[in-house]
Structure 1
C-alpha cells in the first residue's frame, strides 16, 4: 500500500512516472488528469486573467478590473493601517482602492510587474507601487501579490509587502 501511495504522489508531482489511465499512456512530460482541467490550460488561463487584471490596473481600466474580480473575492491586505485586513467582496476592494487614491491625492500607481509565477490556478507576481501625498510623504514599495483564479475571475488575493513599516507610515490609521 505504501508503494502505491508513493507512486501516486510521485505521479501527481511529475517525478518521471508515466501514468496509464484506461489503457492510454501519457506523453512524456504530460499527465492525464481525470475530472480536472489540464494543468497547462489552467495555468495559461490563470496567468492571462491576472495579466489582464494587472494591465487594467496600470491603465485605470476599471471595467476590466471589475470584471476580473469575483463579486465575493477575498482580498488580504497586509499591515496595521487603515486599509489593512481582509476584504470579502469586490465592493470592499473598490472601497479600499478608492480610499487609497483619496489619501494619495490620486497619485497611487502600479509602476511595474516584474515576475509572474504560476502554479495551477494560483499566480504570484512581484509588483511595484508608487504614490506621493500632498505632504510630500512617498510610497515606493515592492509587493508580492498571490492570486487564485476560478472560472476566469480572481477569487482570492493575498498581498505581501516588502516594507510594511513604509506602507503603515504612508497609509496610517
Structure 2
C-alpha cells in the first residue's frame, strides 16, 4: 500500500467506528503528537495511549466530536497531509475549525501523527484542563 492508501484505509475504518481495523494501520509503537495546552495535549506513545486519548476525547464530547476530510490527501514521500474540519461540544463550549493532520507511514504502517489547528488557543479553551 502507498502512504495515501494506508491513511485512507485508517480514515475509512475510523469513520465507520471500526477502531480495531483503524488501528491495524498503525505501528504498535506509533507516536501521536497532540498540540496545545489542554488535558489531551502532548505526545502519546503506543496504541494503548493513543486509543485512550481518542476514547477520552469522545467521552468528553459525549460522542459529538466529528472529524471530516476537507480536501485531497497529499503525499510527499512517506508523509501524508490530511486536511480536516472538526466540530464538537462539551457542555456550553463548542469547537468548529479546520486543521491538518500529518501522518508518517513506514513499511505500510502509520508511525507518527502530528495535528495542527487553525486556532490553537480556541482549541485549548474547548478541551480545557
TM-score of Structure 1 vs Structure 2, range by shorter chain: over 0.9
Is 1:85 matched with 2:30? no
Q: What TM-score does the superposition give when structure 1 sets the normalisation length? A: 0.71
Greater C-alpha Rg: 1
User: What is aligned with 1:102?
Assistant: 59
Is 1:164 matched with 2:120? yes
Q: Which one has a larger percent helix, Structure 1 or Structure 2?
A: 1
Pairing 1:1-173 to 2, within 5 Å after superposition:
45-133=2-90, 135-173=91-129
Assess if the C-alpha contact under 8 Å between 1:57 and 1:110 holds in 2.
Answer: no
CA RMSD between the two structures: 1.3
Q: Runs of 4 or more off by more than 4 Å in structure 1?
A: none
Q: Which runs of 5+ in 1 are unaligned?
A: 1-43
Q: In the aligned structure 1, how far is the partner of 2:25 from the partner of 2:92? A: 33
Q: In the aligned structure 2, how far is the partner of 1:168 from the partner of 1:85? A: 12
Deviation of 1:52 (Å): 1.0
Q: In the aligned structure 2, how far is the partner of 1:169 from the partner of 1:55? A: 29
CA deviations over 1:135-173 (Å, ceiling 9, x no partner): 231111211111111121100111111111121011111
Deviation of 1:112 (Å): 2.7
Q: In the aligned structure 2, how far is the partner of 1:147 from the partner of 1:106? A: 24
Deviation of 1:79 (Å): 0.4
Q: What TM-score does the superposition give when structure 2 sets the normalisation length? A: 0.93
Assess if the C-alpha contact under 8 Å between 2:69 and 2:82 holds in 1.
Answer: no
Q: Point out which structure has higher relative CO (alpha carbons under 8 A, 6+ apart).
A: 2
Q: In the aligned structure 1, how far is the partner of 2:72 from the partner of 2:118? A: 14
Q: Which one has a larger percent strand, Structure 1 or Structure 2?
A: 2
Deviation of 1:62 (Å): 0.7
* Cα 1:61/1:170, change in 2 over 3 Å: same
